[in-house]
Each structure stands twice: as C-alpha cells, then as structure tokens.
Amino acid sequence: MHQALETIAASFPGYQTSATARPDGGYLLALRGKDGSEIKRVVSAAQITTHARIECLISTMRRDMALQFGEVPPVESLRRLREAGLPTYHHA
C-alpha cells in the first residue's frame, strides 16, 4: 500500500492523504483539503494491486470529488466510466 498511497497522494497535491488499514485487507483512504474539506473512501485490497487499477481508482476519485463539489468531472474520468461501465454488486 505504501507505493499506492504515494501514487494517490501525488495525484492530489492539494490534499493531505492518510490511510487506515481495515480488517478485510482494504484501507480507509482520507483526503483532507487545505480548506478543511474531507473526502473518505473505502479502498479494497484488489483496487491497489496493479498500476492500472490504481490509476482507475484515482480517476474515479477525481470524478466523485468533482461531482461532490458541484464541478464538471474531468473528461478522462467520464471516458473510463463509459469503458468500464457502472459497478455491479453480487451477494455471496
């Protein structure tokens, strides 16, 4: 996670990044802005296994942050959503 956290932190230079380990192997990722705004996201262990997955996570976070703050999401994040589709959840 250390390298993944560094990659994520570098992608959000205006935010202080922290991660707390979860019992399921994932992390609670928190980004805190200089203005006091905070975004938290649960990140599964699978989301940070490869560089491509980390980049997808970063793109999704950028889109979600833009939507949360009432901004237009970056075009790249919308393109990834169209290519990957919306997430689906299955009960085990």
Q: What are the tens digits of pLDDT across the range 66-86?
A: 777 777 656 665 565 556 555
Which pLDDT does position 60 carry in this prediction? 84
Whether 89 maps to a domain, the answer reads no
Q: Which amino acid is at 55?
A: E
Percent of the chain predicted with pLDDT > 70: 75
Q: Is residue 23 domain-resident? A: yes
> Which residue blocks in 1-92 are alpha helix, DSSP H?
2-11, 51-68, 75-84
79 falls within a domain? yes
How many domains does the chain divide into?
Answer: 1
Residue 91 lies in a domain: no
Query: Do residues 8 and 17 lie in contact, with contact meaning Cβ atoms separated by under 8 Å?
Result: yes
Q: Give the range of the structural domain holding residue 19, as residue numbers without chain letter.
A: 2-84
Q: Is residue 92 part of a domain?
A: no
> 3-state class of 48 per DSSP?
helix
Residue 1 has pLDDT above 60, yes or no: no
In a domain, 65, yes or no: yes
Provide the CA 83 distance to its chain's centre, in angstroms.
Answer: 17
Predicted confidence (pLDDT) per residue in 47-70, tens digit: 888 888 898 888 888 888 877 777
Beta strands in 2-90 (DSSP E): 15-21, 27-33, 38-43
CATH number, residue 31: 3.30.160
Is 57 inside a domain boundary?
A: yes
